[in-house]
Structure formats: structure tokens, C-alpha cells
Chain A
Amino acid sequence: MGVTCVCQVPIAEGKSVQQTVDVLQKKLEQLGSVKQGSFCVDCETYHATGNVVGQPSKLLYVMHNSETPLSCMALFEGGPYLVADANFDVLMSKLKSHFQNAKGHKVESRGSRYRYCDFLIKVGTVTMSSSARGISVEVEYCPCVVPGDCWNLMKEFMQSFLGTSVPELPSVFAAKPEGLFAAADCVDTMTQYLELFNKLRKLQIPGSNVR
């Protein structure tokens, strides 16, 4: 578990989502990356049902990452988080009268996993209700857990295949009380995916009737 950066890659002009993903994967292979299986990150949304009228319903996000298959992460946006084992999903199904699963809101990112020396790169297609909404790229620098010590290296690496789409330092690291020198953990990765998924969820697909 190293330092990860999750960013969105815009779809290339005149190309489809799949074509843009293919272009990225080709660039990675040309760099010398080796494909090592596939990955999946998904996010389910639950609404709290017993709320006082007038107050917005709290949203609970339950996320899974194939990199940590026995774990489950639950987050309240901007609030407390929980890292639990896979049985947490069973517990959520027991809680269905208090927390309803918004089934149409499940978002997932699936794609191939590449390894380049000490980096792990995951290029995924983000889908919601089987329609592709965008592309996510996750870059992990495995040997280091302190973002402040390796951000410059990660940025330089990302420039080699993302070109101008290189993101800024993820806000999740800067927002911590100890700043960039606090150890990164799996919750930071999932918070970044959640931000990306929420951004893509709000995007309107041209020509389709999206609520």
C-alpha cells in the first residue's frame, strides 16, 4: 500500500470512451509497463430512512477495492469513515429498514492493471447503470507512504503518459491536520474515487435523459 493519486482523464476529441482507454493503455505498454490482471472499484449508496422531515437524508457510501478484496470501506462524505471486513455488506442488508440501498446509483470503475517498476497504474472505465460515464486513472507509488516525499516523482511519471491531463496534488492529503507528511492509507484512495464518482454522477450524458 503506497501513495495513490486518482484522477479523471477527459475523453479525447472525436473518440469514444473505449478508444481513449485503448490509447492510454498503448502508451503505458510503450513505456514498458506490464499488464497484471484487472481491477474493480465500486461504490454503493445508502440513504438513511428515519430522518426528521426537512433535514437532508444522510448518504452512506460503501465501497470495495479489488486491491483489498477482504475489506469494505464505508464513508460519510466529509465525515467519519470505517474500514471493515467483507461481512459489513451482510450487516447492511440486515439494516435495510434503516438504510435503503439506492440501487440505480451504484458506480464502478473496471479496467486493466499495469505494473511499471515501483508504480501500479489502473486505467478504468467508470460506469453507472451500465452506461460509461468517464475514465479514471489511478497511479500508486508502492514503496512510499508519505505523499510529501514522493509527489514530485509521481507527477513526473504521470506526465510521461497523461501529458496535459496531469492532476494537482489530491486535496485529501493537503486537508489532513499533519498535511502532506501524514501516512497515506486505503481510505485516502477511496475518498479520491468517491470524489471522482460523484463528479461523474452529476454529469449529463448528451442526448440521454439522466435525472
Chain B
Amino acid sequence: MEAPPVTVMPVTGGAINMMEYLLQGSVLDQALESLLHRLRGLCDNMEPETFTDHELVYLLKGQQGNPFILRARRSLSHPTSPWHLRYLGQPEVGDKSRHALVRNCVDVAASQSLPEFLNEMGFRMDHEFVASGHIFRKGAMKVVVSKVSRILVPGNTENTERMSLSYLVELSILAPAGQDTVSEDMRSFAEQLKPLIHLEKIDPSKQRH
């Protein structure tokens, strides 16, 4: 992402547990303009921000259990910006009536040496893709509308192929653990986007591999 949401919390190692609240949906290419128009009206007044990011997903296989997954993202439109390393935990199983997917999230900004460093740690790249699109903000909420493209030749971000005829839409908030009221705000915002798009809670572990 170009700019992760800014929090006013002081960051001290290990003291703050941030959770990501997420709702996802998609729109066909033909409906993109209407969605962007609606989002421009509903979201904070700011210059429309587009982005083109290259994301690499790394796995660290341990002796037992599931591999540890880390996502490394860099901006192709701002090549000198730091890399954004993200760890996402398992979705919290809890209140079924909770409106959004909740998972632990750790975001780290890192220097350009990140891929080499991750390899030295034992991580191996599993897959990579290019995501490009638009980003909107409403208070602490972030709405990202992106087209995901497959990279045909490993490491070559010029040569990509669109994966589908639709755009992925993600509504997310980063908040400290325990602030469940944010999912209410997200649900009411998602209501305003219907019927253009239905944003819902999609559990990644239920996806087929």
C-alpha cells in the first residue's frame, strides 16, 4: 500500500496488539466507474490516489504446523519508498454476529534489502503479483479498489496478465484489540455502497487451495 493508516498510538515493542477488521467484495470492470464515483462522494475529500504495488508472499516452513506467512509489498510508482512487510494472524473465531473479519496484524516498514534478508532468515517466496488501483479514506477506514495481475516471468513486473475481469474491493480498519465498535461503522458504510457492491466477511481459511 502507498500509506498504511496512521495511528496515534505510541509504538513500543510488543505492547500494542493491532487488529485488522476487513470486509471484501468485487465489482466487474464495467461497474468500476460508478463505484469510484460513489466512493468519491462518500469518502474524505482528497486528491484521488492511485497506486501500483508489487507484492511477494513468503513462507517459512517450520518443523511442524502451518508455514509462517509474511507479505512484502513495495510501490512500483515510488520505487525509493520503504518496503511494507505485513504479518496477518489467523482470523479470530468468536462472535458469529461480528460483521467483519478480525485478525491480528503487524506492519513493519523495511529497507530495500528486505527480500535478501528474508531469504537469509529461511523464508522462500511462494508467489507474487501486481496490484494496481485506487485508494480512498474515510476517517480511519480505508477502501482499496484494485486489479490483481499475475506476473508471468518471476521478478518481471512489466509483463503482467490480468487475473479476472473484475476489481477487488477491500474495506479495512486497523485498530487496537478489543475495539469491536469499528465493525459497526464498517457495516453502516458498506450499506451505503449497496447495491453497487456487496461487501462481506470472507474467511480466507475457507477458500479452496
Contact = CB atoms under 8 A, between A and B. Distances in A.
Contacts of B87: 91, 94
Contact of B110 (A60, A82, A98): A82
A84 B110 contact: yes
A48 interface: yes
5 contacts: A80-B119, A83-B111, A83-B113, A85-B110, A90-B106
Contact of A86 (B11, B89, B113, B116): B11
- A: interface residue count bin: 20 to 34
Interface residues of B, number: 28
B113 A80 contact: yes
Contacts of A83: 110-111, 113
A81 B113 contact: yes
Contact of B122 (A74, A81, A88, A98): A98
A169 B189 CA distance: 61
A94 B117 CA distance: 17
A91 B108 contact: yes
A89 interface: yes
Contacts of B65: 97
B107 A87 contact: yes
Contacts of B116: 80
Interface of A: 48-50, 58, 60, 70, 72, 74, 76, 79-91, 93-95, 97-99
A152 B68 CA distance: 49
A93 B122 CA distance: 16
Contact of B109 (A58, A85, A93): A85
B12 interface: yes
A82 B114 CA distance: 6
Nearest to A89: B13
Given A60-B121, A89-B14, A84 B109 contact: yes
A84 B120 contact: no
Contact of B108 (A48, A58, A84, A97): A84
4 smallest beta-carbon distances between A and B, as pairs: A89-B13, A83-B111, A82-B117, A84-B110
B197 interface: no
B106 A84 contact: no
A84 B85 contact: yes
B68 A95 contact: yes
A87 B113 contact: no
